[in-house]
Amino acid sequence: MINITLPDGTVKKIEKGTTSMDVAKSISEGLARNVLAAEVNGEVWDLNREINEDVTLNLLSFKDKGGKSTFWHSSAHLMAEAFEAYYPGIKLAIGPPIENGFYYDIDFGSYEISEKDLVKIEQKMLELAREKNEFIRKDISKNDAIAYFKEKGDEYKLELLQDLEDGSITFYTQGNFTDLCRGPHIPHTGHIKAVKLMNIAGAYWRGDENNKQLTRIYGVSFLKNKELTEYLALLEEAKKRDHRKLGKELELFTFSERVGSGLPLWLPKGAALRDRLIDFMKKAQTSTGYLPVATPHIGHKDLYVCSGHYDKYGEDSFQPINTPNEGEEFLLKPMNCPHHCEIFKASPKSYKDLPVRYAEFGTVYRYEQSGELHGLTRVRGFTQDDAHIFCRQDQLENEFKKVIDLVLYVFKALDFIDFVVQVSLRDKENRAKYIGSDENWEKAEAAIIKAAQDKGLKTVIEYGEAAFYGPKLDFMVKDALNRSWQLGTIQVDYNLPERFELEYTGSDNKKHRPVMIHRAPFGSLERFVALLIEHTAGKFPLWLNPEQCIVLPISEKFNEYGVEVLNLLKNYDIRGLVDERNEKIGRKIRDAEVKKIPFMLIIGEKEFANNQVSVRQQGKGDLGTFSLDEFAKIIQKEIEEKLIQFEQ
Ligand SMILES: [Zn+2]
Ligand SMILES: [Zn+2]
């Protein structure tokens, strides 16, 4: 008998040679029907593979990452089978699962394929799926595998086979289709009940543009039709919320080829929004003891050689700037940290001076290939809400907690309510690759975990994900479309204090190295604004909105009163504009709704006579008639609820 440990800790005793599917059946018939694959000692397996030793076993469904990718990989095989049925003789390259579905790179030879051909393939896939064909694994010798694909005339698989060792090669067959594949797969095709082939793209064999261009077919599949419908609706919504589209409509930012791709230009409304985010963060930072500093956009090359950033960003990034003086080389700064280290060194520090917290909205430049650029999320110049905390090892936990509080405050003010915290620690097996003493690492890792626990955060711990210079904590935030974004990194660093020889005098009168914490709750303003646009669909929280209200005179006769209203509202710190166009009021309301301006103030004869405004809230409708004083209170109340004073 062998022992199987399940995720909840229960241990099952089973016969040697039992499969994961047998285990599933022994638990319940329902589970056996839904399970797609098994994670055995952390590795994803076919359900019908025999277990011959004590293991940990996790039965995977579509909800699990491993279950889903196995399902999508199996769908790629099914798609290949369907294509072969219609286009015999096609050559198949690779067909992996991806984050949202799967693809297969295919050499269609002389066949012409277009989007309209995809429908019949989807139907064929569903027809083949209904046959509930099992995915059958077979060990095969290298010679037999080569003979099979020579016969089939598939040079891509033959090339892949060259790199494989005899004795490690497996085939998977379902229905009439056999593929060179290391697996794993779902039990049978019957699980695949909904399929959508998304699009056709070109892809070079092995990603090399000197190679032949193949046709890449992207698809996605689900267990139920309903899941597919929901997924497609979400994609549609994501398109509507695309920050590149909304950024243009809301007049927030633009790009100019003349200025250079990947270098965003903030328009007045966008710049105002950015300023408000900066003010908001500065206020919170001031009340928690950060000291603002400012540093230039370039630095001497030696600075980045010292920090190690030249090694990391040098060759593949913006090249050094030369001056008329020979031998002088500067770099656009890729990181603010080296500058802050030099600020720390500007005066001697004692243990009583620590922690020191330097904050700067620092703009940094990193080269990205033009194909990688994407709106505000992948750019070549961006501004970080950066800060570096220099502290003693015994202050680390408390400093960490303070940063967590700040991040949580930011999330609350901006309506990010769904997130988990990922703590990245050292690889358990390979401790040699990390810099810093074992003792400090242990303390730092324990401090981070404790800080996250004490703050009651939902935490996942990832071993081996730490940087070589220190452990870190990331907030993984879900947006309104259920997509995950990494925000608010807090990173411990033992490396830079070493490289810059930072020190303070301890109570023992000896020199000690401080620990450094890097933190940026927004990450970069560019990426953060992109996320904010897509999360809110452009309906920013009231405190942040470029225009909080729009005054809509029902005819030109009241334009003058409109301007007066707006000027009076400025006394209450309320921002807005007047729609002075000679348009019908219905049209003005519709336009204001499209622009997502939170409040519309309609004024006509009655309002003018009584010194009032009729208020409409965007997306909600009429609120009634109010004096300006009353209206200002409505706005202020809503803002205050979000921006409760942040203090520590
Ligand atoms: Zn495969
Ligand atoms: Zn840093």
3-state secondary structure 495-530: HHHHHCCCCEECCCCCEECCEEEEEECCCEHHHHHH
* Helix axes 155-162 and 142-152, enclosed angle (nearest 10): 160
The residue from 174, 384, 491, 618 that is catalytic is: 384
Active site residue 73: no
Q: Please check whether residue 245 lies inside any domain of the structure.
A: no
The residue from 124, 137, 472, 512 that is catalytic is: 472
Q: Please check whether residue 604 lies inside any domain of the structure.
A: yes
Measured from the alpha carbon of residue 186, the closest ligand is 1
The residue from 388, 519, 527, 535 that is catalytic is: 388
Q: Are residues 161 and 84 in the same domain?
A: yes
Q: Are residues 264 and 302 in the same domain?
A: no
Q: How far is the CA of 334 from the centre of ligand 2 (A)?
A: 10
Q: Are residues 95 and 190 in the same domain?
A: yes
Identify the residue whose tokens are 């961006």.
Answer: 382
How far is C-alpha 328 from the chain's CA centre?
Answer: 39
Q: How far is the CA of 38 from the centre of ligand 1 (A)?
A: 16
Structural tokens at position 622: 């009429």
Q: Please check whether residue 648 lies inside any domain of the structure.
A: no
Q: Are residues 565 and 499 in the same domain?
A: no
Question: What are the angstrom distances between the C-alpha of 208 and each of 74, 106, 214, 367, 370?
Answer: 26, 15, 11, 21, 17
pLDDT number for residue 648: 56
CB-CB neighbours of 643 under 10 Å = 18
Q: Please check whether residue 244 lies inside any domain of the structure.
A: no
How much is the pTM?
A: 0.79
The residue from 366, 402, 426, 513 that is catalytic is: 366
- The CATH number that applies at residue 137 is 3.30.980.10
| Domain end among 536, 562, 588 | 536
Helix (H, G, I), strand (E, B) or coil at 133: coil
Q: Pairing between strand 599-603 and 576-578?
A: unpaired
CA distance from start to end of the chain:
58
Q: What share of the chain is helix, strand, coil (3-state, %, to 5)?
A: 40, 30, 35
Structural domain range at position 314: 296-335
Number of domains in the chain: 5
- The CATH number that applies at residue 24 is 3.10.20.30
> What residues contact 255, with CB distance under 8 A and at least 6 apart?
261, 262, 263, 264, 265
pLDDT number for residue 404: 94
Q: How far is the CA of 376 from the centre of ligand 2 (A)?
A: 21
Q: Are residues 504 and 369 in the same domain?
A: yes
Q: Are residues 27 and 126 in the same domain?
A: no
Residue 340's closest CA among 326, 353, 359? 359
pLDDT number for residue 280: 92
Helix (H, G, I), strand (E, B) or coil at 90: coil
Q: Please check whether residue 241 lies inside any domain of the structure.
A: no
The residue from 518, 519, 535, 616 that is catalytic is: 518
- The CATH number that applies at residue 361 is 3.30.930.10
pLDDT number for residue 414: 86
Q: How far is the CA of 384 from the centre of ligand 2 (A)?
A: 10
Q: Are residues 107 and 209 in the same domain?
A: yes
Question: What are the angstrom distances between the C-alpha of 33 and each of 21, 36, 187, 478?
Answer: 9, 9, 10, 31
Structural tokens at position 183: 């697996």
Q: Are residues 322 and 446 in the same domain?
A: no
Q: Are residues 142 and 22 in the same domain?
A: no
Q: What are phi and psi of 143, to 5 degrees?
A: -60, -45
Q: Are residues 476 and 458 in the same domain?
A: yes
Q: Please check whether residue 81 lies inside any domain of the structure.
A: yes
Q: How far is the CA of 479 from the centre of ligand 1 (A)?
A: 32
* 76 in Cβ contact with 219 (< 8 Å): yes
Q: How far is the CA of 280 from the centre of ligand 1 (A)?
A: 51
Q: Please check whether residue 631 lies inside any domain of the structure.
A: yes
CB-CB neighbours of 608 under 10 Å = 19
The residue from 179, 185, 309, 337 that is catalytic is: 337
Q: Are residues 36 and 102 in the same domain?
A: no
Active site residue 188: no
> What residues contact 286, with CB distance under 8 A and at least 6 apart?
292
Active site residue 297: no
Q: What is the dihedral of CA 541, 574, 247, 238, to 10 degrees?
A: 20
The stretches in the chain having pLDDT less than 50 are none
pLDDT number for residue 22: 93
- The CATH number that applies at residue 613 is 3.40.50.800
Active site residue 386: yes
Residue 294's closest CA among 332, 339, 338, 334? 339
Active site residue 337: yes
pLDDT number for residue 479: 86
Q: How far is the CA of 103 from the centre of ligand 1 (A)?
A: 11
Measured from the alpha carbon of residue 173, the closest ligand is 1
CB-CB neighbours of 216 under 10 Å = 18
Active site residue 591: no
Instruction: Answer whether the bond into residue 355 is a cis peptide, omega within 30°.
Output: yes
| Domain end among 512, 536, 560 | 536
Q: Please check whether residue 364 lies inside any domain of the structure.
A: yes
* 613 in Cβ contact with 603 (< 8 Å): yes
| Domain end among 186, 208, 236 | 236
> What residues contact 331, with CB distance under 8 A and at least 6 apart?
298, 299, 300, 301, 303, 304, 310, 314, 318, 320, 321
Q: Are residues 495 and 475 in the same domain?
A: yes
Active site residue 341: no
